[in-house]
Structure 1
Amino acid sequence: MLNVGDKLPEFESVNQDGETVKSSDFLGKKLVIFFFPKANTPGCTAEACDINDNISLLQKEGYQIVGMSADPVSVQKKFHVKFGFQYPLIGDESKEILEKFGVWQMKNFMGREYMGVMRTTFIFDEKGICTRVIDKVKTKDAAKQILKNS
């Protein structure tokens, strides 16, 4: 998994509207990328909505926000529209970006092992250097966790 001090991995993908999104688009801006396991599930919805509800506070601190999971872009689109998110969502079905960030990992739930997305938030400075990693995300307080120490 990426650590504080690591550089923003290079990536190119499409958002919920099919628009190309590249990591280089965020250089010169503070960036929050939050990775969530699955769109439209209770915890992921709580996290994404909390961030959206506090978007003005996050933007006031200069943050650009991006959400990402392994869901198809079509699923991200429905999730985005349903809740009116004011930030882009990226679906990484290939898991290529998820692996670059180190969030595609073996998980264990009720005795069953499977590969999945570890709920993690990364914060990058204007130079694309990771300044914080939040690996114990509180879904209903995700924005507060991001804003802490900002």
Structure 2
Amino acid sequence: MAQLKAGDRAPAFTLKDQDGREVSLADFKARKLLLYFYPKADTPGCTTQACSVRDAMEELAEAGAVAVGISPDQPARQKKFDDTYGLGFPLLSDPDHAVAQAYGAWGEKSMYGKTYQGIIRSSFLIDETGRILQASYKVKPQDTVPNARRTLG
């Protein structure tokens, strides 16, 4: 799928969180949503990204926003990640990467000369009506929150 841009409708989703509960995009109507995709729980970059979101939760709430992370990890791994770092926001399991594909966050990557398919670290700020306010692809872990902050004003 092509990459999303500001003004596009955010693709709907329903996935299980770290506690096995179903979470849908529709659950966040009337609030802004910082939605980000990360490759694998409890790896250095993903930990940096998740902890920066955790540390900005109060600031996001003041701007009327909440956060959700999505990776291909199973809920049990997401739960361990949440418990280890006290993240306190939904971490959703997308094992078949269908939601990542819908958001343009699944694609070709390369490491050590090998190419493979995987999560393209991405973040999206979605408004109360389900429209994309800001989309960042190949985002650095430490830039997820500053990108959202700029858009939120």
Question: Structure 1-normalised TM-score?
Answer: 0.95
Q: How does 1:1-150 map to 2 (within 5 A)?
A: 1-150=3-152
Task: Give the Cα–Cα distance (whole angstroms) in 2 for the partners of residues 94 and 6 of structure 1.
Answer: 23
Aligned length: 150
| 8 Å CA contact 2:57, 2:66 repeated in 1 | no
Task: Give the Cα–Cα distance (whole angstroms) in 1 for the partners of residues 144 and 11 of structure 2.
Answer: 23
Specify the SS of the correspondent of 2:39: coil
Task: Give the Cα–Cα distance (whole angstroms) in 2 for the partners of residues 50 and 137 of structure 1.
Answer: 13
Structure 1 portions without partners, runs of 5+: none
Task: Give the Cα–Cα distance (whole angstroms) in 1 for the partners of residues 46 and 142 of structure 2.
Answer: 9
Specify the SS of the correspondent of 1:58: helix
% identical aligned pairs: 36
Structure 2 portions without partners, runs of 5+: none
| 8 Å CA contact 1:137, 1:145 repeated in 2 | no
> Cα offset for 1:145?
2.3
Superposition RMSD in Å = 1.2
| 8 Å CA contact 2:105, 2:122 repeated in 1 | yes
User: What per-residue deviation string (whole Å, max 9, x for no partner) do you get for residues 68-115 of structure 1?
Assistant: 011111111110111011210001101111111111101011111111
> Cα offset for 1:136?
4.4
> Cα offset for 1:141?
4.1
